[in-house]
A and B are shown apart, each in its own frame.
Chain A
């Protein structure tokens, strides 16, 4: 039997109820092996799943670094330790993103040569593999060398997980010309353009996030997170406006009856809950970060992604990705 996936039962806006329900569905519908990590007194019914008991919870507003040091018996830290100790194949959490990264970093360690892990969030594309946005929020401040590593790791991930042989990499900026952007962007552009092992196609702009013409978009974690949340908000707004228009009168409602049959599957494809979470690239183990507002479906899909990454040997492929001399 494969190792279980350690699921932080206490993390997320709808924890522990939706988290445990998602785990149960992953076991029943996908045949996955899942172990919950949580505080027994706060968890309620574990729905027949195995539980690793702990005594603390890292809250969404706790400071990432210090909370991991102070709350050593928290569900997040214990989940990371299960991976470190070879008792779980991966960890999944919808909790405090910064603390999830800190737990994984401090307990699992970094892959060789990696300056700092980054969050790789898949952005769906119609009839194509998702575009990978890195960094989606792990590192608010970055150096050019870090962005180069993010591009290297994301390319390896996209190649290994989605089968894209030569992923196209774009650098998020405010214009296509290499001279556009902040000093960070311009220096990163120079470094990426000099790399023979990456298929760097130049700068891309915010409008290239959807549908993206490239397979990887690299940026710093602050910009990446703003871009991601802007995209989420815009999509919600568009669908809400569309539904509002459909509900206007009898005629539009009749039209909606026809239209929604085609629109709702598209909305489902684009929704965060079906994407399955983001992979933390650069740590020595598998850590999937699910959306804070994850429901049971989102958790089930995050567990599915963690299992696929494990089976695909992505971490082993990432282990040899970083060659520090290339980024010099």
Chain B
């Protein structure tokens, strides 16, 4: 693999990324971040979600230059599963 090539992300890898970043923001362990539990039940308020979005944009820019999550789409993202599915579609992960 050349230095310019980045391996595509699997859905499992996206899940791990979202979990890790949310865990860091909420000061939890990744194992405590269940995929189906609503963000609000995990203790993530609107500012925590903005932190998550900005962290994901920075991390995922490695895989897709200028990766951006539209603010209009944020309302529809209510759980880790939503976020992972959203990113997967954006990155066209199978």
A residues engaging B (CB < 8 A)?
A: 64-66, 68-70, 101-102, 105-106, 113-116, 141, 143, 324
Known contacts A64-B47, A106-B50, A106-B54; A69/B26 CB under 8 A: no
Q: Is the interface of B mostly helix, strand, loop or mixed?
A: helix
Asked if A65 and B27 make an inter-chain contact with CB atoms under 8 angstroms apart, the answer reads: no
CA distance A66 to B26 in the complex (A): 19
A63 (CB) vs chain B CBs: closest residue: B46
Q: CB distance B45 to A141 under 8 Å?
A: yes
| Interface contact tally, CB-CB below 8 A | 29
Tell me the minimal C-beta distance from B54 to chain A in angstroms. 6
> In B36-94, which residues have CB < 8 Å from any A CB?
43, 45-47, 49-51, 53-54, 71
Taken together as a complex, chains A and B put the C-alpha atoms of A128 and B47 apart, in Å, by 36
**Taking the nearest CB of chain B, how far is it from the CB of A135, in angstroms?**
14
A105, B47: Cβ atoms under 8 Å? yes
Q: A-B pairs with the 10 shortest C-beta distances?
A: A65-B50, A115-B27, A65-B47, A65-B46, A66-B71, A106-B54, A102-B47, A69-B71, A69-B50, A106-B51
Residue of B26, B45, B50 near A68 (CB, 8 A) is: B50
Q: Of all chain B residues, which has the CB nearest A109?
A: B51
B43 touches A143 (CB 8 A): yes
- B27: chain A residues within 8 A (beta carbon): 113-115, 324
Chain A contacts of B54 at CB under 8 A? 69, 106
Chain A residues whose C-beta falls within 8 Å of the C-beta of B49 in the assembled complex: 65
Q: Which residues of A contact B50 (CB under 8 A)?
A: 65-66, 68-69, 102, 106
A-B contact pairs, 9 of them (CB 8 A): A69-B53, A69-B54, A69-B71, A105-B47, A105-B51, A106-B50, A114-B27, A115-B27, A143-B43
B54 to A, closest residue via Cβ: A106
Residues of A within 8 A of B47 (CB): 64-65, 101-102, 105, 116
**B window 1-60: CB within 8 A of A:** 26-27, 43, 45-47, 49-51, 53-54
Give, as a whole number of angstroms, the nearest-CB distance from B58 to chain A: 11
Shortest C-beta distance, B24 to chain A (Å), equals: 9
| B45 CB contacts on chain A under 8 angstroms | 141
Bound: A248/B14 CA distance, A = 73
Compute how far the CA of A114 lies from the CA of B53 in the bound complex, rounded to whole angstroms: 19
Beyond A66-B71, A102-B50, A105-B51, list 12 extra A-B contacts (CB 8 Å).
A65-B47, A66-B50, A68-B50, A69-B53, A69-B54, A101-B47, A102-B47, A106-B50, A115-B26, A115-B27, A116-B47, A324-B27
